[in-house]
């Protein structure tokens, strides 16, 4: 039995993948979305910096997206894509964690990133609802309140300044590290930003709300919110399997149409090298979809060129 070959398989059902699927479906392309359902921001209390969608819960956003996808009869397979390879026919084969094989002519990766949450008791519990990674995304809700910044493995000097623009009460916790240069210390002091170098024991929580940071000596430093400078991991397993050119941090290197170094492979969203906003991911999905459609048109009409 001959297996169906989709025009496009999209791996990842976040804003990049879903928006690309809509654009492709409206151009009458056959699309399959493979999505594990583990979007980065699912625990957020509201999306921001997205005109007309400010404050919308990510779960509600995904539900709205799926409703629109369903109107175009775009299938969404809830599974994890674990293998991908190029075919001699210039297409791709994708294998999911259920052992199913899927074929396509073009492949769009929208696999995103995974945040590295500090291994401090309380961080995971409050992630997205008291502990945040992006001042642009969640800073407004915390302004004029005591804000903490946890930065152990990364220098928190820059983010501390960004947070100080939101609140006059900012404390940088370096968790035992002494990485600040003398001029950086002087600058932070001049801005009124406190630096706490003692090791952090845990976050104090009451009724799922952050009360503050408990230091190793037992002292409680009261806070209303906490930001972290702790990095993230690009979900790049499939990119590596395909040999895609990436930055040293794993983000795919693409051109303005989201094309990668691998013919027929496109990457959109946080797994590509750009700013990590939902609206940017959605826009990149749209750009990739247009480029993929035009790429397929060119291929299908090559003999007449």
Question: Which CATH topology does 5-115+232-304 take?
Answer: FAD/NAD(P)-binding domain (3.50.50)
Task: Answer yes or no: same fold for 5-115+232-304 and 131-228.
Answer: yes
Residue-wise pLDDT for 77-88, tens only, equals 999 999 999 998
Instruction: Quickly count: other Cβ atoms within 10 Å of residue 276's Cβ.
Output: 18
Domains of the chain: which residue ranges? 5-115+232-304, 131-228
Q: Are 255 and 265 in contact (CB under 8 A)?
A: no
What's the predicted TM-score (pTM) here? 0.93
Residue 297: burial class (beta carbons within 10 Å; 0-12, 13-18, 19+): exposed
Residue 275: burial class (beta carbons within 10 Å; 0-12, 13-18, 19+): exposed
Among 40-44, 70-74, 269-273, the range with the most confident prediction by mean pLDDT is 70-74
Q: Is the pLDDT of residue 304 over 80?
A: no
Residue-wise pLDDT for 216-255, tens only, equals 999 999 999 999 999 999 999 999 999 999 999 899 999 9
Residue-wise pLDDT for 88-109, tens only, equals 878 999 999 999 999 999 999 9
Residue-wise pLDDT for 136-168, tens only, equals 999 999 988 999 999 999 999 999 999 999 999
Residue-wise pLDDT for 24-67, tens only, equals 999 999 999 999 999 989 989 999 999 999 999 999 999 999 99
Residue-wise pLDDT for 184-221, tens only, equals 999 999 999 999 999 999 999 999 999 999 999 999 99
CATH code assigned to 131-228: 3.50.50.60
């Amino acid at each position: 039995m001959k297996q169906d070959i989709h025009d496009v398989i999209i791996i990842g059902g976040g804003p990049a993948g879903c928006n690309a699927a809509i654009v492709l479906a409206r151009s009458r392309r056959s699309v399959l979305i493979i999505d594990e359902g583990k979007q980065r921001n699912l625990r957020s209390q509201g999306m921001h910096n997205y005109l007309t969608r400010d404050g919308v819960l990510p779960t509600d956003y995904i539900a709205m997206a799926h409703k629109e996808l369903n109107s175009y009869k775009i299938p969404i397979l809830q599974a994890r894509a674990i293998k991908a390879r190029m075919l001699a026919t210039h297409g791709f084969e994708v294998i999911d964690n259920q052992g199913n094989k899927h074929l396509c002519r073009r492949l769009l990766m929208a696999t995103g990133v995974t945040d590295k949450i500090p291994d401090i008791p309380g961080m995971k519990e409050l992630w997205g609802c008291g502990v945040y990674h992006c001042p642009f995304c969640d800073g407004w809700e915390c302004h004029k309140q005591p804000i903490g910044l946890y930065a152990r493995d990364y220098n928190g000097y820059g983010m501390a300044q960004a947070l100080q623009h939101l609140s006059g009460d900012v404390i940088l916790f370096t968790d035992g590290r002494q990485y600040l240069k003398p001029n950086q210390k002087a600058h932070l002091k001049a801005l009124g930003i406190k630096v706490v170098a003692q090791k952090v024991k845990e976050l104090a929580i009451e009724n799922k709300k952050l009360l503050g940071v408990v230091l190793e000596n037992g002292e409680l430093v009261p806070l209303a919110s906490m930001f972290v400078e702790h990095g993230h991991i690009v979900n790049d397993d499939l990119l590596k399997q395909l040999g895609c050119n990436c930055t040293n941090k794993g983000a795919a290197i693409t051109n303005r149409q989201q094309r990668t170094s691998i013919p027929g492979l496109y990457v959109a969203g946080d797994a590509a090298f750009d700013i990590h906003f939902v609206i940017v991911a959605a826009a990149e999905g749209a750009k990739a979809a247009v480029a993929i459609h035009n790429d397929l048109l060119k291929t299908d009409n090559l003999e007449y060129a």
